[in-house]
Amino acid sequence: MVKKKRPTLQDIADRVGATKMTVSRCLRGGNNVSEHMRERIFAEAEALGYIPNRAPDLLSKSTSHAIGVLLPSLTNQVFADVIKGIESVTEPAGYHLMLAHYGYSREVEERSLASLLSYNVDGVILSESQHTDRTLRMLGTAGVPTVEIMDTHTTPFEQAVG
């Protein structure tokens, strides 16, 4: 299966007769684009099915507007309710969740955390308080807010809610 080429800012710019920078500025909410051009840019973006590429923002701003959530089970209804509760706070604040399932394996949790941190998540929510040494080192190095949920009996890495 061949991956389709996603429409780019340049594709929109070519269709509306503007520069790529003007299209980028407009789509990011810049006010220094005429109303007529703004309407044309948004119409072309919609017609092409344009999906913004967040990679440049991740590199330049070091923020993802994403929270990594590591869950030990996807079949336990408790965790579905936990996700709904987290989203009730994160979504209105402009954050999206990146979920990882680790099946109660500390080694899988470690690999999943490494993957989430590679996406430059702005925070991490962990479902348990027992972690590998490497997991704890990664959390310390990443320096993002970390919350452990479900277990409030042991000393948390940073903070706990249960």
Question: What is the pTM for the complete model shown?
Answer: 0.71
For 59-161, CATH number?
3.40.50.2300
For residue 40, how many other CB atoms are within 10 A of its CB?
19
Of 47, 57, 59, which is closest to residue 11 (Cα–Cα)?
Answer: 47
Domain residue spans in the chain? Answer: 9-53, 59-161
Q: Please determine, for residue 60, whether its predicted confidence score (pLDDT) is greater than 70.
A: no
Confidence of residue 59 (pLDDT cuts 50, 70, 90): low
pLDDT for 32 equals 87
- Tell me the residue length of the chain: 162
Q: Which of 46-60, 61-75, 95-109, 147-161 has the highest mean pLDDT?
A: 95-109
Which distant-in-sequence residues (6+ apart) come within 8 Å of 94 by Cβ? Answer: 65
For 9-53, CATH number?
1.10.260.40
Contact criterion met (CB below 8 Å) for 146 and 126:
yes
